[in-house]
Amino acid sequence: MMKLPDRIDEALLERLARRVTVTGEDRELLDIEAPYTGETFGTLPMGTADDVSEAARQARAAQQSWSKQSFRERARIFLRFHDLIFQRKDEILDLIQLETGKARNHAYEEIGDAAIVARYYAFNARKHLKSRKRKGIYPILTATREQHAPVGLVGFITPWNYPLTLGITDAIAALMAGNGALLKPDRQTPFTALWAVDLLYQAGLPADLLQVVVGKGSVLGQPIIESVDYLAFTGSTGTGRLLAAATGEKLIGCTMELGGKNPMVILDDANLSRAARVAVWDCFSSTGQLCVSIERILIQSTIYDEFVRLFAEETQSLKLGASFDYSADIGSLISAEQLEKVRSHVEDAVMKGAKVAAGGRPRPELGPYFYEPTILENVTEEMALFAEETFGPVVSLYRFESIDEAVEKSNSSTYGLHASIWTRDTARGRRVASGLKAGTVSINDTYRSTWGSIDAPMGGFKDSGLGRRHGATGIVKYTESQTVTVQRLLQVGPPRGMSEERFHNFLTRGIKLLRRIPGLR
């Protein structure tokens, strides 16, 4: 067992472990590894299908009374959670780094994101889900309203790369909508998600409402789908297809945020020094292990050489390190498997003619899974990383002549999660953005401006997923819409003594008339 950072101790890990739902004592233990050293720092019980069933039973029982609480009562809990996150931020920063190996500056993104999502839905859930008047079939005579009821129990299968953000923020929306929640965090980073769950209970969340199981997706995935009324998944496109098929078989809703091969487009009027400086964050945040990370940069030919020079200088100035403070710019990859994928992509590209403009090497002297931020030129279609998602600190550069060519190359991927555009002309940037097949587009900034705009939906086109998180969409999806009408005086049908033919003629004249009356169409 490795030495833990100062703010993380065995007592904390043991308390978090007790948040895992288990139905028996005799079971296999899961070792949790610290990427900085490759050493085990904690263990958790591996979940079973029986654990999922029990977790679902407890959450459903708790949800019955929770769904009857007012939005104001629910909001108080999430606003306390918001405040507690900042009170305990150093502790959770240590834990995120311990489990993921990312640098502290990148770990802080998760702190801010979890807090603002909690605040947003605390203040806006009622507005998004309130009963609304809708137009009825007969003006004045038909009173129609749309209202929302929680779906019941929502399942969450979350990834390792952003274990706080993706481990809890979607659940916050589901809980604010009146649902119970069943969470399966990734096996590599469960303690961060458990910390967030524990903090929610400290903030006042009713007992048993949010359940956690830990273990293999191949063992727990199907039992989770069989136990819930809606599934939210963030992860690979391949796994997403399997889960989407399973939810379809059960006829329950799902949202999937999946892979990306995200492009950045640098136009000839861009502020190159600023673009190069910001691109470093866009490409290498969380060591490139980010669904919205930039993996392709398309640069207009007239400014290609200058941008490459500036970008390479910025990249080479980054400091790699394993430290629980802000002294390192870039941290570690999470595992040997991830390191091998990055290494194989770069070696394959170089062997087939790619040129390394910066980086290109593992750094075992810093830790077992460190790899340098890497820039590649002359990448061609026969190279694995040309189309495949690398999910590491590697970006490939391409020239383009016209905007049409840039848009075509950007859209050539099977993915469509995020894109970035750099230009001094905002109107020009918006025109380019409108042609991109991507769920979010940042102009003159990193992914943080789009991700952080949580009143707007976030998700992907094409193979990058189904549905959206954030905004009204991000909470309405966890509800069932119900339409209720009250009919006054005249029924929808012929009154007594009127024939169907005469009634239909009357109805036809009325419908034609309504077409000409503004406000009643």
Alpha-helical segments (H) within 18-88? 49-66, 71-87
pLDDT the model gives residue 513: 83
Tokens representing residue 42 in the block: 């904690």
**Residue 368 · residue 38 · CB < 8 Å:** yes
pLDDT the model gives residue 434: 98
pLDDT the model gives residue 26: 81
Q: Residue 487, by phi and psi: left (phi above 0), alpha (psi -120 to 50) or beta?
A: beta
Phi, psi of 148 (to 5 degrees): -125, 135
pLDDT the model gives residue 21: 97
DSSP states along 195-229 = HHHHHHHHTTPPTTSEEE--S-HHHHHHHHHHH-S
pTM of the model: 0.96
**Residue 116 · residue 76 · CB < 8 Å:** no
Query: Measuring CA to CA, how many Å separate 122 from each of 65, 117, 232, 450, 475?
Result: 19, 8, 20, 21, 11
**Strand order across the beta sheet in which 230-234 lies:** 210-212, 180-184, 153-157, 230-234, 253-257, 465-466
Q: Please name which of 170, 62, 100, 506 lies closest in space to residue 334, comparing C-alpha atoms.
A: 100
In which residue ranges of the chain is pLDDT below 50?
none
- Domain at 10-258+472-479: CATH code: 3.40.605.10
382 in catalytic set: no
Neighbour tally for 363: CB within 10 Å: 16
**Residue 373 · residue 315 · CB < 8 Å:** yes
pLDDT the model gives residue 515: 77
The domain over range 262-459 is classified in CATH as 3.40.50.300: no
Q: What angle do CA 461, 413, 451 make, to 5 degrees?
A: 45
pLDDT the model gives residue 519: 66
pLDDT the model gives residue 6: 83
Question: Locate tokens 């502020």: which residue?
Answer: 271
pLDDT tens for 20-54 read: 999 987 889 999 999 999 999 999 999 999 999 99
291 in catalytic set: yes
Q: Where are the domains of the chain?
A: 10-258+472-479, 262-459, 495-521
pLDDT tens for 141-161 read: 899 999 999 999 999 999 999
Sequence-distant (6+) residues with CB within 8 A of 119 are 78, 79, 82
Q: Which of 54, 99, 254, 291 is catalytic?
A: 291
Three-state DSSP class for residue 28: coil
**Residue 158 · residue 240 · CB < 8 Å:** no
pLDDT the model gives residue 510: 80
Rounded CA separation 159/329 (Å): 23
Q: Which of 54, 257, 314, 389 is catalytic?
A: 257
Q: What is the dihedral of CA 87, 93, 94, 100, to 10 degrees?
A: 150
User: What is the Cα Rg of the chain in Å?
Assistant: 26
**Residue 417 · residue 439 · CB < 8 Å:** yes
**Residue 147 · residue 482 · CB < 8 Å:** yes
pLDDT the model gives residue 137: 85
Question: Identity (one letter) of the amino acid at 187?
Answer: R
